[in-house]
Amino acid sequence: MVPSKYQASNGTADDSAAVSQAFAQCATDSVIIFDEGVNYNIFQPITATNLSNVEIRMHGNLHLPQNITAVQNIVSDGTSTWFTLEGPKVDWIGPEDVNNGWIDSYGQPWWDANPAGSSGIDNRPHLMSFKSSQATLKYFRSRKPIAWNVKLHGQDITVSHAIIDATSTGSFPFNTDGFDVEGTNIQITDSIMYNGDDAIAVGADSHDILFTRNTIGYQTHGMSIGSLGKDPTDFA
């Protein structure tokens, strides 16, 4: 693997274009390093769908926009997922140090803006789509997600030591699913999920899914299998 490093603005500008360029230039047999303790502003969605044998060392911290209207406009224009990573053998590796490796989405104002009796305001992005095989998510950390966290699709994927913190100081954090899983031989272990929806939701046609040694809490629903409850005939 060939290491590639990008010097971030460390909170002074939008780093999205440079990060997208790094993923494009280092899409194969590469190591992409986000430096420890450095802040990266990701104010536009990142899409990398041609990855192969790439290790992402997420030792820095990623920050989404705090302007709700700006994010809603991006989603309404057709981009509903902020980070889209696809390809075989993709590894997202964070640091053991719990102070680093976070994605900060600043979801609290979104939750507090929920109209009474609703399940959230319109045009909320999913945080990440991770579609891979023979892949790893280790020390993945998400703080105050706006809505859904990780769509985890593929086969032979291992998630460990993840933290998803959707603990609210105000309104209920609707649809802050931890992992929406669809595939084969996917393991999620030794992780923490404090959220307001499913810790894990297992989609149709999935099998060999292991969810063990995890701590779930706050107001999580726990585990959902398929779409039980959407169709009244499910209870017939």
Q: Is 91 designated active site?
A: no
Check if the beta carbon of residue 58 is closer than 8 Å to that of residue 101: yes
Residue type, 133: S
Give the whole-angstrom CA distance, residue 125 versus residue 142.
Answer: 14
If you compute the radius of gyration of the chain from its CA atoms, what whole number of angstroms results? 17
Question: 97, 221, 231, 234: which one is catalytic?
Answer: 221
Task: Determine phi and psi for 18, rounding to 5 degrees.
Answer: -70, -40
Number of helices (H) and strands (E), helices first, in the chain?
3, 19
HSE, CB side, 13 Å, CA atoms: give it for residue 190. 9
Give the whole-angstrom CA distance, residue 105 versus residue 144.
Answer: 6
Tokens of 201: 């939701």
Give the whole-angstrom CA distance, residue 221 versus residue 72.
Answer: 26
Check if the beta carbon of residue 157 is closer than 8 Å to that of residue 89: no
Q: Is 221 designated active site?
A: yes
DSSP assignment of 7-50 = ---TTSS--HHHHHHHHHHT-EEEEEEE-TT-EEE--S-EEE--
Question: 15, 177, 180, 197: which one is catalytic?
Answer: 197
Positions marked catalytic: 197, 221
